[in-house]
Structures are given as C-alpha cells and as structure tokens.
Chains A and B, each alone.
Chain A
Amino acid sequence: MAQMLTIPEVVNLLRVPETTIRRWMQQGELPCTIRNGKPVVNKATLISWAEAKHLRLGSSALGKKGNLVTNNLLAALELGGTHYGLKGEDRDAVLRHLPGQMQLNKISPQKLETLLLERESQSSTALGKGVAVPHPRYPLPIPKSQSRVDVFFLSSPVEWDAPDRQPVHTLFLLLSAESSHHLKILSQIAGLLRQAGVEDFLQQAPPQDELLDYIQARTSH
C-alpha cells in the first residue's frame, strides 16, 4: 500500500510552514486526498510533485538514520578513547606523536598534526592545572554531530606555556563537529578543572572506566 503522509509529515519533508501546505492544498496546487476527514498526501506523489516544482526535500525525512549526537563531554569521551604513556620531550614532539596513537577516519594523521601545531602557534591551548586541550585550527570534516574527545596521559610532563606556568601531563584532544559542541565541551572541561582534587586524580593516569565515572559524577549536562 502506498505510504500516506499527514500534514505534519509533509511539513517536515518540504520544510514549509503548515499554513502554506494547507493553502497549497486548498488552491489545488498540492495533490491530496481526504482520509478519515484529514487531508493526506501519497509519499511517492509528493516526491515526484516536489521534483517537478523544483522543491528540495528535507534530508531528515528521506530515510536517513539519525546519528548519535555527542554534544557533551561524556558522550564525546565515549566516542574517543584513553591513551597512556604518550612520549615527547616538548610540546611539538608530543603533538607530532599524538595522531599516530589514535584511530582516525576522513583525515590523515599528517593533516591533523599540522592543524594542531598551527593552532598552538596562534596561542597556547593549556588550561592550567597540568591540562591542555589541543584542537585543530579549523573544524574538521568529521561526521556531523560526531564530536569526540581523546584523553592522552603523557609519559613525562612537558612545558605548554600554561597560564599557571605548570607543565602539562594530561591532554584532552577535542575534535568538534560543530561550534556549539566545541564550546559546550570546552566549558565542561574548564568547569571540571575548577573542582578540587582533579589534578591529583588525573596525574595517576586512571583507567578509562574510572575516568568516565569520575567525570560523570562531576559534570553537569
């Protein structure tokens, strides 16, 4: 049986206000039938009609599966991973080793390395308390809504031009998909660091599940 769409579904598909859809139906522009007293539109008819009228259909309705939205620190950490014993005698050496440690798709390690170094050369990404949040100079072409955070524990602390002059021992590598994610995750990390005892906890290089539990207990969504 043909799939029939109700007005709200048509609104979703065409991205046009409901009043407009109703007006088009009344004017006889949009072919529809009445079922149970409500106007409905055959989906196949609607798609060919929209094509003929050069209307673009919303991508959401065309059977695409919605991706998991990782717009907070915890979800982003789960998507990323935890890495231990990252070597390097100074900041640049650490950043050069870093991309090789992680699984990347859609971007080459060399490209990531360049973008991270470029960002550091503009201004330091160290937050203080031994933590830095390296991220690329520009947003990366990663899947939409798939922001990720990878935690790296360094084998030995390195100088990172931090505001509190402390050497850095933990990195939160942030690859954000959207500017809103970027800001939210960054502010969550900054908020986390403001709490007492975080520095000592991170210096122990805790295993991933402990780290996640710890962060879950201390961040607000």
Chain B
Amino acid sequence: MNSWTTFKQELHTKLQTLLPSTSPGEAERLSHFRAHSARETVVMMLCALIIGAGSGVLAVSLNWGVHFLQESILFLPDLSQILMPALGAGLAVFMIRNLLRDPSGHGVPEVIHAVLHDARNLKKRMIFSRFFGSLLTVGTGNSAGLEGPTVCIGAAWGAVVARWLNTNERRSKLLLGYGVAGAVAGIFNAPLTGLIFTLEIILGEWSVLTVLPSIIAAVTATEFSRVLMGNKITFTHEFEFFDPTSLVACVLLGILTGLLSIAFSRSLSWSEKKFHRIGSPWARAALGGAIIGGMAYLNPSVLGEGYNITQEFLAQMDQHTVEWVLFFILLKFIACCVTLGSGGVGGVFAPSLVLGSAVGMSFGLILGLTGWEGVAEPAAFALVGMAGMVTGVMHGPLTGVFLVMESTGGYSLILPLMLTASSAMVTSSFLEVGSVYTRNLIFKGDLVKRGSDQHLLRSLSRDFRDLLDHDFLTVRDSTLLGEFVEVFKNAHRNYFPVLEADSDRCIGIVFLDDIRSYLFDTHLYKIVSMGSIMRSLPTISTNESIEEALDKFELSGAWALPVMDGKARFLGMLSKSTLFDHYRRELQITV
C-alpha cells in the first residue's frame, strides 16, 4: 500500500513537470499562438488512451450483458416473460436508490452539469449504478436505450481517472469528455459519432485539447469493441442515388421528425410528472415495467431498445404496411414515455433512433403510395429519419448525421442526412428551448457556456473570500473625526468600513473623498462621529452569485462594497479593481 501511495505521488509530480504552468511570461506569449502546448496535448492523449480503453470495455460489456439477459429471458415461460420488465425496472431502481444511494435522474444532464460546474465531483458509484441499473432495466425488456447510461459510465470513469491523476478542474472536464467519447464510440462501434457527440453535446467546445484526445479515446474504445464483439455494422444497406425530389422530401421529413421530437420530449416530462404521484421510486419503476409487460403481451415489438425492429425495416421493407408502422410508432412512443417517465434507468438515444426510423419508414411508404417517379426507397428514409429524430431530441445535428453515416457504413446518404438534420434542428429549436438534456439546466440557470463571460465570472465567485481586500482600516460608528484623523494617517485605502460599536456588523463605509475638505477643521473634531457621515451601501453576502454582486455595484455606483458572511459578520471589501484583476487572470488561463 505504501509503495502504491509513493508511486501515485511520483506520478503527480511527474505530471506537474510535464504539464505547462499557466502563468504566461514574455517568452510564453508565442506559445499562446501555438494552439496549446504540444506537450500538454500528448499527455492528455495518453490519458485519453487509458480512459477510452476503460469506457470501451465497459460499454461493450454492458451491451453484451443486456443481450445475454434478453436471450436468457426468451427461455422462460410466457407468463413470467410478461412480469420480467416490472421486476427488472423495480429491482434496478431499488438497487440504485437504496443500495448504491445514487439519487441522480436520467444521467446525461448530470454529466453536462458536472462538466460545467464540478467535474471532479462526479461519483464513482455512478459506474456501478448505471451499469447494473440499465442492465436490469433494458435487459428485461423495458423500452429505453443503453446509450444514456453508457455516457454516464464513461463520464464517471473519466472522473475517476481525473481524481486518480489529481488533475485540475479544467483538465478534469476534458477527461470526462474523453470518457464520454470512448463510451459512445464503444457502444455504437462508431468512433466519429463518439467524437462528435462529446464535442457537440457534452463539452461544447472545439479545440486541440478537446478534439485530439477525444479521437484517441474514441479510436481506442472502438478498437476494443471490435476485438471483443467483432466489427459489426449495425445497419447494412446499399443505396441508390437520391434524386432531387427525394431531397426536397427530406426537408419535409426533417420538419416531421422535429415536431415529433418535441412531442416526445414534452410527453416524457408530462409522464414523469404523472408518475411522480407515486411516492416510492422503485414502485414507480415497477409499475412502468408492468405496463410495458402488458403492452408486450399485445405486441412484443415494444420490448427493449428496439434496434431489431429498425433492422427489420431495412432488411424487409416490403413486408411492412403503413398501418403497421404507424401503429408501431404509437406503441413505441407510449412505451418509451412509460419506461423513462417512471424513472427506469435508460436513455433517450435508442428510442429516438427507433422512432425516427419508423417515422422515416412510414414517410417513405406513403411517398411510395403517391406513385412519384424515382422516389427513394422507404428504407433510405428510415435511416434519414433516425438522424432527424436524434437531432430534434438532442439538438445535435452533427451527432445525428455522423451516427447514421457510420452505422450504415456508407457515405451515400450524406446529402439527405444533412438536409433532414438541419430542418429537424430548426423546427425543434423554433418551438423548444434547449434539448432534452439541457432544458432543465437552462431553467435552473445552470447552463453556462465554457469560455463565456458568465462562465469566467462564475469561476471567480466560487472563491469569493480570496478576492477581498484586507489592507484597510476599520472605524467604529462612535469614532470621532478627531480620532479618525489619527487612523487615516496609517491607511492604504481611501475607504473605511464602519463597524457597529458593539458588534462586528458593518453598517456603512466612510469615504475619504467625502470628508477630505473637512479633515482639518478642528472645530468639527469633537462633534462629527463616523456613524453620521458614513454612506450606507448594499452588502454582498458570500453565498450570493457574482451576478447579484455586480448588480449591486452597478446600482449603488460604489467602487467597493462590504462582504458579509451568513451571520452578518464583516469579512472584507470587494472592490471592482480587484475583481477586474482576477477576471483578467482567469481570461489568460482559459485562452
């Protein structure tokens, strides 16, 4: 154990010497333009290699576990098959809440929140809770995806590595992102999708340090997935040339999927609200599972992730009627809302893909009925619909395009994909603020873009106390002008906080500028007390946000304001100039 600790310490010091310090001097100005230090990039790429391997293996084993569970259930008698979803979902939630004590919700919003605010605090137990939770939930046939949980697992694994290497906040965020890239790449066997997903949806930032290591993580994870599971292309299909009419139809399909994605995410939150009337989380999930079981009794196609149905659409497109596909959309829609709304452990990725493919399929079939010449085959629209739906739900057009492109193993669909994704994105963002992942964060005011002003200010206010001026002198409200003259001789600052005579409460500030011309009027020495000439200013409390503090500066026009702790004890003065100094420093390190 001891040698292990020393090894870790040595590793940390080694990392410190390898990674550049953040204070730029004259000579380092040039390196600012060198798109980050190459050395840092190499170190981060090495970290990404470890993370990608880990999250790839985790993603593959989750995928394999779910399929194993699904196949073993098939051997059970029919009646118990119907009960399995309820059992699985209830057990999963019970395990997560009561045994692993992980209260988090669907997961991906928590990951985004962690990336924005405190990357290093993402709990290790999330790996276990998501792994076994989604294994039980999806493996027993509940209608949700594995991708959401996999993203959480990858991110939590990245956070574990970040804590282990003791990296700073900024690099921890990056490591989280690499974990996600590996996880998505591993589960889809699609490296580009992993890369794009993490850049577009999780990190939201395109730079050398986000792109290159994410590539490494995605490649590593994909390679692990191919070695362990074989290089399977999810949806194999060859396509003919897409004629201009079909391209125009793709815009329509984009609008359609955009609308459906809004309906989907709104129904999700509606059903979540309805299910919340049931107090116990595991009973809620079990009820959701029971409903799925009942639905599966009528039509087993709603069970599980639903990729098998999508594959059927593509392989045997002539065997499906429009009515059947529309009915399937309705059933799958309800099933996903039930599973996810009841708190089942799963993601919206797979449901969006399956629903999108069904919408595209029915769209293609209906187009075929109109008897247009040369219109593309329904299966092509099914694939394009997937991209549209993913874009609409997640607000990630590139993720949608690349995912479908990679999982069909071809470039032939790129034009319709891009058109559909764009029109779905426009439609969805017309009617809805934020994606299914970010909406709640936006409402809570937690979605702050990295590198933006607000983000910098937030990082400043996290340690308010360090920003305070301490080199000032205080006076009591009973101090007379004559006594003040003695105090002022030793002062560095031109303001003097006035503390109440019998407590440490700051009740106002005396500004030297206000009293300068009376300072040597000896007739006033014995009659002017500080209490009567102080200015009463708004005070800033340490638990306030920096925005509120800045508002107070603006409203009062003051140059420095007193800061109090929760018990109204005076801590120091926060001045605009100090704030600006720190802001600049913060700006330098994030460039």
Contact = CB atoms under 8 A, between A and B. Distances in A.
Interface of A: 56, 119, 122-125, 127, 133, 135-139, 163, 176, 178-180, 182-184, 186-187, 190-191, 194
Interface string B295-328: 0000000000000000000000000000000000
Counting chain B CB atoms within 10 Å of each CB, the highest count among A122, A127, A135, A184 belongs to A122
Nearest to A193: B523
25 contacts: A122-B501, A122-B529, A123-B480, A124-B526, A133-B527, A136-B532, A138-B507, A138-B508, A138-B536, A139-B534, A163-B526, A179-B510, A179-B514, A182-B528, A183-B514, A183-B518, A183-B528, A183-B533, A186-B527, A186-B528, A187-B518, A190-B521, A190-B524, A191-B523, A194-B523
10 smallest CB-CB distances across A and B, nearest first, come from A179-B533, A122-B478, A190-B523, A183-B518, A179-B514, A137-B531, A138-B531, A182-B533, A187-B521, A180-B514
A136 B532 CA distance: 7
Interface in B503-519: 507-508, 510-511, 514-515, 517-518
A45 to B, nearest CB: 22
Contacts of B515: 179, 183
A138 B532 CA distance: 5
B421 to A, nearest CB: 30
Nearest to A180: B514
Contacts of A122: 477-478, 501, 529, 531
B591 interface: no
B422 to A, nearest CB: 27
Nearest to A136: B532
A123 B528 contact: no
A184 B555 CA distance: 26
Contacts of A178: 514, 535
Contact of B532 (A135, A184, A190): A135
B373 interface: no
Contacts of B26: none
Interface in B530-547: 531-536
B554 interface: yes
Counting chain A CB atoms within 10 Å of each CB, the highest count among B514, B528, B532 belongs to B532
A70 B109 CA distance: 58
B477 A137 contact: yes
Contacts of A124: 526
A58 to B, nearest CB: 10
A141 B523 CA distance: 27
A136 B536 CA distance: 14
Contacts of B480: 123
A137 B507 CA distance: 11
B523 A137 contact: no
Contacts of A123: 478, 480, 526, 529
B529 A179 contact: no
Given A139-B534, A179-B510, A119 B529 contact: yes
Nearest to B533: A179
A186 B533 CA distance: 11
Contacts of B536: 138-139
A56 B554 contact: yes
Contact of B531 (A119, A163, A186, A194): A119
A144 to B, nearest CB: 12
Interface string B121-135: 000000000000000
A179 B517 CA distance: 12
B477 A179 contact: no
Contacts of B528: 182-183, 186
A183 B478 contact: no
A163 B527 CA distance: 10
Contacts of B555: 56
A136 B527 CA distance: 12
B533 to A, nearest CB: 4
Contacts of A119: 529, 531-532
Contacts of A186: 524, 527-528
B532 A139 contact: yes
B514 A138 contact: no
Interface in B458-499: 477-478, 480
A163 B531 CA distance: 21
Contacts of A135: 532
Contacts of B531: 119, 122, 137-138
Contacts of A137: 477, 529, 531-532
Contacts of A187: 518, 521, 523-524
Contacts of A179: 510-511, 514-515, 532-535
A191 B515 CA distance: 17
B498 to A, nearest CB: 9
A125 B527 contact: yes
A15 to B, nearest CB: 9
A4 B442 CA distance: 38
Contacts of A163: 526
A170 to B, nearest CB: 15
Given A138-B477, A183-B515, A176 B526 contact: no
Contacts of B517: 183
A127 B532 CA distance: 16
Nearest to B529: A122
A133 B480 CA distance: 15
Contacts of B518: 183-184, 187
A139 B534 CA distance: 8
Contacts of A184: 518
Counting chain A CB atoms within 10 Å of each CB, the highest count among B511, B517, B533 belongs to B533
A176 B532 contact: yes
